[in-house]
Structure 1
Amino acid sequence: MTEVLLYTLGVVAVVLGLAASIALHEVGHMVPAKFFGTKVTQYFVGFGRTLWSTRKGETEYGVKAIPLGGFVKIVGMLPPHPGDDPGQVRQSNTGMFTQLISDARSAEYENVTPEDEPRLFYRLPWWKKAIVMVGGPAVNLVIAFVLFAAVFMTIGASTVSTTVSAVSDCAIPSTEAGRTCTAADPVAPAKQAGLAVGDEITSFNGTPITSWDQLSRAIRANGDAPATIGFERDGTARTVTVNTSVQARTSLDDPEKVEDVGFLGVSPTPGYEREDLGYVVVTMGDMTGRTVTAIGDLPEKMIEVTKAAFGADRGQDTPMSPVGASRVAGEVTSAEGTTWTDRVHFVALLLASINLFIGIFNLIPLLPLDGGHIAGALWEGLRNAIARLRRKPIPGPVDVAKMLPVAYAVGAVLLVMGVILVYVDIVNPVRLT
């Protein structure tokens, strides 16, 4: 298959995977909403102009032109103003925010009939509201777990062995990585020692070697000193002694730091090792923590991305839009030497990571994110519990409409972030090494 076709397949796989994730996220809201009896009038994937739609019962299902999200229209998300009839929401012009909230209430109840009133979302008990809003993020987290489990328990987790896959001809500083060897470059120690592709390194300076990480750290710590290397070739144990050289390399513990370390000049053999369910749980837990940290670092990283829009270097750990993620998938799936196992492994884990991010990000307790509605429902439950303990009348539903100014502000910020990410992913994308 040609490189262009493989690139296209990678892009299409991610685009379709994201579309399916968005669609299932909205199903996670719609199913419990319908189960609890609320009226759901629309279910759409995408925003903007409608490309296709069909009506089944009271719900219109369809696809819109901009595939960057989706929505479910659940009638009655905003309660009427206290004392107002749902069908006759009062108008107000006492201030910009007050008018904004009033207009939103009016739009919410434009097509509400008296028969709909018992089915309005705001009338649900707080715990049912929470379930409906948690449904979307929960689906993304389930998708992430299923994908992680499918990959790690069938293909396996990526690993590297101490079997040599390549021997460097010369020693090139990391600052000049990518160029070919010249006559001025020193011969790599591994080349001097006669190490070859297929050799399995078993010991270093008398210490048994069981992993590539252990070997790499031992080489780096050796500096410019003799090294006795034990290895197996064609089933025969051999030993060779050679001086490792010193080269500038990126720190294993701090990717931002370059340090002078010992250098041998061998590369490991990549592969996969199947894992059990416990590994899946631990790995997803670890990635959840990393995702939470990444969300906390998002403002700082967006500053870096914005600078990249004007020509600054862009780090590989900066956030990407769906455009960037699709591009990376195409780059990996079309890379020379990549197998179909590698392609499936990468794309599946990429989609799992994206779903994990979507699920956690949507739990941030700010409107218009799902977490904002969840926070309102939980506050309503807490307020009702306190009222019962104090033998006071149960308060009415929490009025999330009062938070609409915040919702519009957060929505505007997210929109700007999205536009910047898409632009930078086109003009200054993340470069894979």
Structure 2
Amino acid sequence: MTALLTFLGILAFALGIIASVALHEMGHMLPAKAFGMKVTQFFVGFGRTVWSTKRGETEYGFKAIPAGGFVRIIGMLPPAKGADPGKVRKASTGPIQSIAENARNAEYETIDPADNGRLFYQKPWWQKLIVMASGPLVNVAIAFVLFGGLFMLYGAGVAQTTVSTVTDCVIPASQASAERKCTDTDKVSPAKTAGFQVGDKILSFNGTQISSWEQLTPLIRANTDKPATIVVERNGQQKTLKTNTIVNQVPKEAGSDEVVSVGFLGVSPEMKLERQGPAYVVDRMGELTVATVKAIGNFPEKLVGVAKSIVGGERDKNGPMSVVGASRVAGEVAANQSWTVGERLAFGVSLLASLNLFLALFNFIPLLPLDGGHMIGAIWEGVRRGFARLFGRPDPGYVDVAKLLPIAYVMASVITVMGVLLVIADIVNPIRLFNG
């Protein structure tokens, strides 16, 4: 039964990824066709063609390796300066020039004279920007729909003012783990000293009335190692508990690797599912966007830890993982019968939504071959032509993104190496949410 649930979890998540990729590419294709650009191929996956069919001038299909996808829009690269489409120079003057020219040659081998006016590079800069931005924006939309369904229909865990756990001792964040137990050298937690019990409802902290856990947390942290008087409701009666909070290292935010030294009490809140509104979804996605951008910025550093984990090092549970790893985690959660069906479905939806948000933000990076590289090229073209018109100068022409292909090839190689490294790590030393 466990194996079947694991397989079904992996399969469902994989289908979700494939659907996300297909919708991303559709996001490029539909505006391209609407603007009159010639689109010859729409494929999900890479490698050998498994199945395809042609509708009009576009071939649709699936490739053998379900890792990504592509839409072929004719004329992505403009001809060399002074050359006509289809008349690209065959000679090269250097290795970098050769890369650009060879790419142009391959591009224009499939262009017919009748395609003139329908080529990508010939279109206005704003149309090119819309075409390239629409792909990752579709992923943002998918993430919003998934998070919206999750938070507005299923609900989000909201911390209550009722205590669910009382920590026995003080463990710094750098040593915290599921396996770490209290030792004789650890300090007794202030909450334990004060006599907190599970089920206590916190009413006030040092005279401040408490209405939410979000209000309580900064009060505890700001109290450092000073005296604390907490009024709680226990079995219908109010009790006053006294202790001294203690300075401890804790994560700056939930799931964050950054730690801060702040006041620590040693109680955790009871969590309750509450349905949220659209404003919560937007706010939560904003927080996740900031966290994802930071994670992308720290990616090279994190990758060092991933490489070490391949040769026996400890795998960081909060570190990056590949689609293979994410699918494996989805299968692990699907098979975990200690969670309710709702909790397992909610986790899978959240994981797929987070993946779509990551794909969108990663594709917005302004470097080729990512969508952001073409977007920057379109924006720069619009700026140059706008200034030329403003100051009465000659039209500077199209931005030649082919000159950036050497950088694109380096970037593509780096992305490939990172992807392979993560896949190997997810096979050799995968991230496990549960012990065993």
What's the counterpart of residue 230 of structure 1?
232
Q: 1:219 to 1:8 in 2, by over 3 A?
A: farther
1:314-356: per-residue Cα shift (whole Å, max 9, x none)? 3333222111222233333433532222223222222222212
Matches within 5 A, 1:48-197: 48-165=47-164, 175=175, 178=178
How far 1:86 moved relative to its partner?
2.2
- 1:356 and 2:364 correspond: no
Q: 1:271 to 1:88 in 2, by over 3 A?
A: same
Matches within 5 A, 1:26-65: 26-65=25-64
Q: Which amino acid is 1:86 matched to? A: P
Mean CA deviation greater in 18-27 or 331-340: 331-340
Mean CA deviation greater in 319-328 or 267-276: 267-276
Could you tell me how far apart the structure 2 residues matched to 1:301 and 1:180 are?
Answer: 23
Q: 1:365 to 1:245 in 2, by over 3 A?
A: closer
- 1:239 and 2:244 correspond: no
1:396-421: per-residue Cα shift (whole Å, max 9, x none)? 22211111111111111111111111
Could you tell me how far apart the structure 2 residues matched to 1:33 and 1:145 are?
Answer: 24
3-state secondary structure, aligned to 2:116: helix
How far 1:425 moved relative to its partner?
1.9
Conserved? CA contact 1:247–1:263, under 8 Å: no
3-state secondary structure, aligned to 1:70: strand
1:57-89: per-residue Cα shift (whole Å, max 9, x none)? 111111112222110001111112233332332
3-state secondary structure, aligned to 1:119: coil
Question: Please, what is the CA RMSD of the aligned residues?
Answer: 3.4
Conserved? CA contact 1:247–1:261, under 8 Å: yes
How far 1:251 moved relative to its partner?
5.0
Alignment size in residue pairs: 428
What's the counterpart of residue 385 of structure 1?
386
How far 1:247 moved relative to its partner?
11
Q: 1:232 to 1:111 in 2, by over 3 A?
A: same
Query: TM-score of the superposition, structure 2-length normalised?
Result: 0.84
Q: 1:198 to 1:373 in 2, by over 3 A?
A: same
Q: Which amino acid is 2:387 matched to? A: I
Query: TM-score of the superposition, structure 1-length normalised?
Result: 0.85
Q: 1:133 to 1:177 in 2, by over 3 A?
A: closer
Could you tell me how far apart the structure 2 residues matched to 1:122 and 1:372 are?
Answer: 14
Q: Which amino acid is 1:286 matched to? A: E
Q: Which amino acid is 1:25 matched to? A: H
What's the counterpart of residue 286 of structure 1?
287
Conserved? CA contact 2:126–2:378, under 8 Å: yes
1:200-234: per-residue Cα shift (whole Å, max 9, x none)? 4445676644344566677786979897662333x
**Structure 1 unaligned spans of 5+:** none
Fraction of identical pairs, as percent? 51
Could you tell me how far apart the structure 1 residues matched to 2:133 and 2:400 are?
Answer: 19
How far 1:252 moved relative to its partner?
5.4
Matches within 5 A, 1:366-405: 366-405=367-406
What's the counterpart of residue 276 of structure 1?
277
Q: 1:337 to 1:198 in 2, by over 3 A?
A: farther
Mean CA deviation greater in 205-214 or 346-355: 205-214
Could you tell me how far apart the structure 2 residues matched to 1:44 and 1:237 are?
Answer: 66
Mean CA deviation greater in 108-117 or 185-194: 185-194
Q: 1:360 to 1:226 in 2, by over 3 A?
A: closer
Mean CA deviation greater in 104-113 or 174-183: 174-183
What's the counterpart of residue 8 of structure 2?
9
Q: 1:120 to 1:252 in 2, by over 3 A?
A: closer
**Structure 2 unaligned spans of 5+:** none
